[in-house]
Amino acid sequence: MITGVHALLYSHDADATRAFFRDVLKLGTVDGGRGWLIFALPPAELGIHPADGETGPELYLMCDDVERTVAEMRAAGVETTRPITDAGWGRVTALRVPGGIEVGIYEPRHPTALDLAVDQAVARRGTAS
């Protein structure tokens, strides 16, 4: 049974990228050994879309209010790489993360599976006892 997702970001400056996720996004961590931080993530969902060209993963952080979240990020010195736009499925922009990474951030306007993800995790813990 699948118990979680371990996502990877490859960075040209891993220490700066880790500091961003720890200090700016305030994500909790465990030490995976030798100082390699593994970050706790909020509940997640996976969307699978058709592709006409190249395929590959993309990372989008979800928020309740993209305007407020972007203002908080800018106050922390984080640069956005494009203006907030309405994509129909949500209001979206992207953040420049240290280490040469761009991460999308959006306020969804579609049904999400986040509550389902939490329910599944709680159910798994209940059966693991």
Over residues 50-64, the mean pLDDT reads 92
Burial (CB < 10 A; 0-12, 13-18, 19+), residue 92, is buried
Over residues 5-20, the mean pLDDT reads 93
Does residue 95 contact residue 112 with C-beta atoms inside 8 Å? no
Q: Domain residues of the chain, as ranges?
A: 14-42+57-128
Which letter, b or e, does each residue of 100-110 get, where b requires 16 or more Cβ atoms within 10 Å of its Cβ? Answer: ebebbbbbbee
Which letter, b or e, does each residue of 66-86 get, where b requires 16 or more Cβ atoms within 10 Å of its Cβ? Answer: beebbeebeeeebeeeeebee
Which class is 14-42+57-128 in CATH? Answer: alpha beta
| pLDDT over 60 at 129, yes or no | no
| pLDDT over 70 at 39, yes or no | yes
